[in-house]
């Protein structure tokens, strides 16, 4: 959400404060001054109230009061609502989500605002989401898990209160809905794919083990994610075969992301017309292309690549 405007910014146009002015309790505005300020139409007010109550779950009275304080700017009013801890805590959805979160903590005293691997596993089991399924990676991206199997209270509450998913069945529906969208929504897939790399990094490391990367490439480049194969080229199998036999090193962030970019290009152009020796691909991808040309094309003949 946009940051709340400063108090000074909200005073602009209402009065002028000089450097020598002694700050006192603001005096009430005269009726004539209030009437001079632009007032939104009734339809605009109703729309603002509807938006405010939908996002915050506050009642109409509270919505009207806060919207008036922010001159009927719904974005500013919503931001102010959630910036006030007492208001955020009063959100019914967040209350329900807090209760769900608390029920899966294994160390409430040591980690009151974090679920560990055991607690996360129990939560995913309750949601009927297999930890080895791509749905778990969708879940971890939605709640912005800092690492595999770890969930923070804020990430959990923020993710599902925004869509009023305040029960296990509703949370499951949100995740299953996004899982189903993965094959059609390339932007969603990319977010999940990129976030997965962060999940798998161990503390203070900048790369993951090859075997771990290979396992998750198989999960991501599948029917449920982005199927990395074309009519005559099982790209994922070739990629893993090549790395296993010729490379097998740790996978850093750049290679992880460039692999997705390369995969997308091969799906559009099976003949690798997009590739040339002057391209800025990682060297391992350049070497993979040469390997494909010499080892996997018919008769072992090199492809003609311009």
Report the range out of 28-42, 186-200, 286-300 with the highest average pLDDT: 186-200
- For residue range 161-196, list pLDDT tens digits in order: 888 899 999 999 999 999 999 999 999 999 999 999
Q: Which domains does the chain carry?
A: 92-181 (1.10.238.10), 205-300 (1.10.238.200)
Confidence of residue 3 (pLDDT cuts 50, 70, 90): very low
What's the mean pLDDT in 266-295?
92
For residue 56, pLDDT over 50 is answered with yes
Q: What is the pLDDT of residue 88?
A: 54
Is 7 a residue whose pLDDT tops 70?
no
Given pLDDT bands bounded at 50, 70 and 90, which one contains residue 32? very low
Q: Lowest mean pLDDT: which of 58-62, 218-222, 252-256?
A: 58-62
* Whether residue 269 has pLDDT greater than 80: yes
* pLDDT higher at 1 or 284: 284
Q: CA dist 172 to 33, 94, 127, 165, 276, Å? A: 52, 16, 6, 9, 45
What mean pLDDT is reported for the chain?
83
- Per-residue pLDDT tens over the stretch 122-164: 999 999 999 999 999 999 999 999 999 999 999 999 899 888 8
Whether the per-residue pLDDT at 298 is higher than 80: the answer is: no
Q: What is the structure's pLDDT at 189?
A: 98
Find the mean pLDDT for residues 232-237: 96
Q: What's the whole-model pTM score?
A: 0.70
pLDDT score of 95: 87
Q: How confident is the model at residue 86 (pLDDT cuts 50, 70, 90)?
A: low
Tell me: pLDDT of 15 over 90. Answer: no
């Amino acid at each position: 959400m946009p940051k709340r405007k400063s108090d000074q910014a909200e005073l602009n146009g209402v009065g002028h404060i000089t450097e020598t002015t002694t700050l006192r309790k603001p005096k009430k505005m005269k009726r004539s001054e209030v009437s001079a300020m632009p007032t939104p139409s009734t339809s605009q007010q109703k729309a603002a109230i509807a938006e405010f109550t939908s996002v915050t779950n506050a009642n109409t009275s509270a919505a009207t009061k806060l919207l008036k304080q922010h001159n009927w700017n719904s974005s500013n009013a919503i931001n102010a609502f959630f910036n006030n801890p007492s208001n955020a805590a009063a959100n019914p959805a967040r209350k329900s989500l807090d209760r769900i979160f608390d029920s899966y903590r294994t160390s409430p005293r040591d980690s009151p605002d974090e679920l560990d691997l055991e607690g996360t596993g129990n939560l995913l089991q309750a949601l009927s989401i297999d930890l080895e399924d791509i749905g778990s990676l969708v879940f971890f991206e939605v709640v912005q898990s800092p690492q595999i199997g770890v969930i923070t209270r804020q990430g959990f509450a923020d993710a599902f209160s925004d869509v009023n998913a305040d029960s296990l069945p509703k949370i499951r529906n949100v995740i299953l809905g996004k899982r189903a969208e993965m094959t059609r929504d390339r932007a969603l897939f990319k977010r999940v794919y990129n976030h997965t790399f962060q999940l798998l990094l161990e503390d203070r490391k900048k790369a993951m083990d090859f075997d771990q990367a290979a396992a998750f490439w198989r999960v991501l480049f599948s029917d449920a994610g982005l199927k990395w194969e074309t009519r005559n080229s099982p790209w994922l199998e070739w990629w893993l075969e090549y790395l296993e036999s010729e490379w097998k090193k740790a996978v850093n962030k750049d290679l992880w992301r460039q692999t997705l970019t390369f995969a997308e290009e091969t799906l559009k152009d099976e003949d690798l017309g997009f590739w040339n020796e002057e391209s800025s691909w990682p060297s391992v991808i350049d070497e993979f292309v040469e390997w494909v040309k010499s080892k996997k094309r018919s008769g072992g003949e090199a492809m003609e690549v311009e």
